Amino acid sequence: MVFASLPFIFFILPLFLVLDFLSKKWNVIRNLALILISLFFYIFDGGTHSLKVLLAYGFLNFFFGYALEAAKRKNDALKVIALVFFVTINILSLIFYKYSFWLVSLLHDGGIAENLHAKQQVLPLGISFFTFHAVSYLIDISRGELNGRSNVINFLTYFFMFPHLIAGPIVRYKQVKDDLCSRRLDSNLFTYGLYRFILGVNKKILIANSVAPLANMAFIYNVHSLSTMDAWIGAIAYMIQIYFDFSAYSDMAIGLAAMAGFKFSENFMAPYSSCSIKEFWRRWHISLSSWLRDYVYIPLGGSRVPTHRIYINLIVVFFLCGLWHGANMTFVLWGLYNGLFLILERIFLGDLLNKIPKFLTHAYALLVVLIGWVLFRADNISQAFDYLSVMFFLSNTDNQSVCNGEILNYLALIIGCLLVFFRLKSFNSSNAKEAVTHNGAFAVNSFLMILSVIVLFFGAQNPFIYFNF
pLDDT tens per residue across span 74-100:
888 999 999 999 999 999 999 988 888
What pLDDT shows up at residue 74? 86
Same domain? For 206 and 79 the reply is no
Tell me the C-alpha distance between 136 and 133, whole Å: 5
What's the one-letter identity of residue 383? Q
Same domain? For 152 and 219 the reply is no
Tell me the C-alpha distance between 396 and 389, whole Å: 9
What pLDDT shows up at residue 368? 97
* Residue 9 backbone zone (phi > 0: left; psi -120 to 50: alpha; other: beta): alpha
Q: Would residue 338 count as lying in a domain?
A: yes
Helix (H), strand (E) counts: the chain: 22, 0
Concatenate the DSSP letters of all residues of 235-290 into one string: HHHHHHHHHHHHHHHHHHHHHHHHHTT--PPPS-S-GGG-SSHHHHHHHSSHHHHH
Same domain? For 178 and 195 the reply is no
Give the chain's domain count: 2
Same domain? For 323 and 174 the reply is no
**Structural domain that includes position 337:** 189-468
* Residue 351 backbone zone (phi > 0: left; psi -120 to 50: alpha; other: beta): alpha
What pLDDT shows up at residue 64? 95
What pLDDT shows up at residue 433? 58
What pLDDT shows up at residue 110? 60
Q: Would residue 16 count as lying in a domain?
A: no
Tell me the C-alpha distance between 173 and 158, whole Å: 7
Same domain? For 269 and 125 the reply is no
Tell me the C-alpha distance between 248 and 265, whole Å: 14
Q: Would residue 90 count as lying in a domain?
A: yes
Q: Say what the pTM is.
A: 0.91
Same domain? For 250 and 373 the reply is yes
Same domain? For 33 and 144 the reply is yes
* Residue 428 backbone zone (phi > 0: left; psi -120 to 50: alpha; other: beta): beta
What pLDDT shows up at residue 422? 61
* DSSP 8-state class, residue 346: I
CB 262 within 8 A of CB 38: no
Q: Which of 183, 216, 250 is the last residue of a domain?
A: 183
Same domain? For 443 and 311 the reply is yes
Q: Is the peptide bond before 169 cis (omega within 30 degrees of 0)?
A: yes
* Residue 378 backbone zone (phi > 0: left; psi -120 to 50: alpha; other: beta): beta
Tell me the C-alpha distance between 160 and 163, whole Å: 9
Q: Which of 129, 152, 183 is the last residue of a domain?
A: 183
Same domain? For 208 and 278 the reply is yes
Tell me the C-alpha distance between 410 and 442, whole Å: 25
Same domain? For 178 and 233 the reply is no
The phi, psi pair for 423, rounded to 5°, reads -90, 135
Same domain? For 113 and 242 the reply is no
Q: Would residue 102 count as lying in a domain?
A: yes
Instruction: Give the helix, strand, coil percentages of the chain, each rounded to 5.
Output: 75, 0, 25
Rg (CA), the chain: 23
Q: Would residue 15 count as lying in a domain?
A: no
Q: Would residue 7 count as lying in a domain?
A: no
The residues, any chain, with a CB within 8 Å of residue 225's CB and separated by 6 or more, are 399, 402
Q: Which of 136, 155, 183 is the last residue of a domain?
A: 183
Catalytically annotated residues: 325
CB 274 within 8 A of CB 280: yes
Q: Would residue 420 count as lying in a domain?
A: yes
Q: Would residue 8 count as lying in a domain?
A: no
By the 10 Å C-beta count (0-12 exposed, 13-18 middle, 19+ buried), 166 is classed as buried
Q: How far is CA 10 from CA 16, 35, 43, 163, in A?
A: 11, 20, 18, 16
Same domain? For 104 and 207 the reply is no
Regions of the chain with pLDDT less than 50: 424-425
What pLDDT shows up at residue 187? 83
The residues, any chain, with a CB within 8 Å of residue 124's CB and separated by 6 or more, are 46, 49, 50, 53, 54, 97
HSE-CB of 81 using CA atoms within 13 angstroms: 7
What's the one-letter identity of residue 249? Y
End-to-end CA distance of the chain: 16
Q: How far is CA 351 from CA 195, 314, 373, in A?
A: 41, 19, 25
